[in-house]
Structure 1
């Protein structure tokens, strides 16, 4: 589509690769914008010009996008109905609304408390004396004392993540006013929690029985704080916003769903598998999206998968995808490889490579299906992979039902 834009804004959008942007050859002062794989909203401000907001709406229904995201974050606990997304058509309002609702549910019974290790200098002993620090800093003086103690407080990683995500959403353009008001209320409830400094590493948390009510909110907080956020200042320009890369959303969903669907068959599924090389000298590193290994310490690969957020064109899928999968199969010593696409003209196609005997399978998921139907497709795919996997053809006799 062609839109009037200041040249500085158009060039900033083109350089950021948020969208494909190029000057309109037919209309002066207009730029042709084309969405790529990113969805969300950004605001671009050039010196002396009013802010320009670019909103990119996903092609899949918002509820489906949110299911793909939520399932990859928490496959065993996430289901439709936890957050009402029907009233929103754009990504950022949905994410802000969902995060605020989950945060409210998490802290409704009170802000979680836990133990935090604190190191301090004091005139009285509390907890334990840090002897090495006492000698290094005080040179044998009795006071003050270098101490360390465990403090029971709300200033713990879980709450710091929630506050950081709340602050992030409050800075973004496009958050609806009612949601913004509720986010301000949540920030007030977390007022005793230390805010994160921009650029600081995110605190780590571990799921446990004690923080179970926080899990969904924390998963969404990590999504809010993920590196897909856009916040750049090239020259005198300012770009603020939030973006999801649909390539990553789809890839994460396919890999996590396959890992769960393959559990009944044994082995282990590895996302973004490491230690895979194309050459014998191990100089050409490869990173398949998903590799399914057999049981045991010396387990061998049983299947390899690459997810592509692409739809099949009239002339088929790109040949480059087949070449990539052929390289994976060759390096892993597999007789078959699987490419999974977002949409296709047929649910499955296979290509047998000449002189190699390797079969490259192309599968298409239907993202318009319900979550249960989509997971059933992934379960069927897992059954097909298990049926043709080396050393397992004689073992697989039945395919489990939908997850």
Structure 2
């Protein structure tokens, strides 16, 4: 990293250490190491962060054997499976992402969303309009008519309803398009965004973004707006599941890697469960560790008749050389033991991303003195293959 860019990122972090944006420490911190010097440590968030007008930080997941291109593809692929995220936008086969920054991928997809919306047609509504006209229209506002037209008796200060596109949904989309023009680094994207804005010429900007989102009405005839507004919320209010939201103008689309990995593993197991006839519950919450206290929430519960299998996904990079526990957290094992007991599970699995030194075929298990077995498995994200259990479905 060039010294000047490093310094910009360093200043970006320092400026927020004592401000309302202190949440930046949840994913980005400064440190130092003897013999190395200053370092920027990235925690378990991935995505993009705008440092300045000319510096954008792209944080990709650390994946075994993955190049930058591979990591970017894997990130977007996992993002598709996140239920709280609008995955449909990434399924366009014409979207080439090999050399496209993540933020520009999002912009490209949003352009396509709005292009489809415009083709479908902007939704209009009736709005009350006040104007001082030379013709009578609607009804006279007598107080303003007397005030404005005492010496202009040829005019009428009137109120009338006008059918137009000035509604909160369109105001939010127009504001989003302007926002993306300001932050896009692609001349082609800026050009397409400006073309789209022509369809919103008679729509004002949103002056109260939170209020307009509260006023959004997605009735049956407005379903084609749903994806566009979901992403407007991401761009305008930075609702990208990051803890970093502050007063500085720093566009951030950041996602906790733990949630992405959980969602991705759940998606793969769900595919396998459908094929093999198992019923699957994701984020199951039927049990508590104690009576109505300390809820248990395993990522995946598989059932078939009286058989139960419980699985959890952990985005932690293990080590084969440090100890016989491979840096597996003791808390993780306590958690899996509790799952085995509460669910009376025949098998309990904890799934980690594949790292150097391990193989997906490795068999690691921990056995308690009362017979609970916890199986440890590794998922090769680049292979995009279903999780293979040690015990047959």
TM-score category (smaller protein)? 0.5 to 0.7
* Gap change, CA 1:64 and 1:52, over 3 Å in 2: same
* Gap change, CA 1:303 and 1:198, over 3 Å in 2: farther
- SS of the residue aligned with 1:244? strand
Please name the residue that 1:343 is paired with: 354
* Gap change, CA 1:80 and 1:340, over 3 Å in 2: farther
Q: How far 1:327 sits from its partner (Å)?
A: 2.1
Please name the residue that 2:386 is paired with: 377
Offset from partner CA, 1:137-185 (integer Å, 9 cap, x none): xxxxxxxxxxxxxx998788986775575455446x4543432332333
Return 5+ residue gaps in structure 1 as ranges: 45-49, 125-150, 388-403
- Give the one of 156, 175, 184 matched to 2:194: 184
Please name the residue that 1:311 is paired with: 317
Q: How far 1:250 sits from its partner (Å)?
A: 2.0
Question: After superposition, where does 1:190-269 map in structure 2 within 5 Å?
Answer: 190=200, 192=203, 195=206, 197-200=208-211, 203=216, 224=235, 226-228=239-241, 230-233=244-247, 239-266=250-277, 268-269=279-280
The 10-residue stretch of structure 1 (303-312 or 191-200) with the greater mean CA deviation from structure 2: 191-200
In the superposition, the TM-score normalised over structure 1's length comes to: 0.64
Offset from partner CA, 1:113-134 (integer Å, 9 cap, x none): 59x8x899xxx9xxxxxxxxxx
Contact 1:232 1:240 in 2 (8 A): no
* Gap change, CA 1:182 and 1:21, over 3 Å in 2: same
- Give the one of 5, 15, 37 matched to 1:9: 15
Contact 1:10 1:22 in 2 (8 A): no
Please name the residue that 2:133 is paired with: none
In the superposition, the TM-score normalised over structure 2's length comes to: 0.65
Please name the residue that 1:362 is paired with: 376
- Give the one of 62, 85, 93 matched to 2:104: 93
Please name the residue that 2:46 is paired with: 39
- Give the one of 310, 324, 337 matched to 2:335: 324
User: Which structure shows the bigger proportion of residues in helix conformation?
Assistant: 2
Alignment partners' CA distance in 1, 2:304 and 2:312: 18
Offset from partner CA, 1:326-382 (integer Å, 9 cap, x none): 22222222132222222241214342422232221222221223xxxx1x334x45x
Please name the residue that 2:143 is paired with: none
Alignment partners' CA distance in 1, 2:76 and 2:347: 32
Alignment partners' CA distance in 1, 2:127 and 2:371: 63
Contact 1:278 1:284 in 2 (8 A): yes
Alignment partners' CA distance in 2, 1:26 and 1:94: 38
Alignment partners' CA distance in 2, 1:82 and 1:55: 25
Return 5+ residue gaps in structure 2 as ranges: 63-69, 129-137, 139-161
Question: After superposition, where does 1:289-304 map in structure 2 within 5 Å?
Answer: 289-294=299-304, 302-304=308-310
Contact 2:313 2:351 in 1 (8 A): yes
Contact 2:308 2:346 in 1 (8 A): no
Please name the residue that 1:22 is paired with: 30
Cα RMSD, aligned residues only: 4.5
* Gap change, CA 1:268 and 1:21, over 3 Å in 2: same
Q: How far 1:31 sits from its partner (Å)?
A: 4.9
Question: Aligned pairs, how many?
Answer: 333
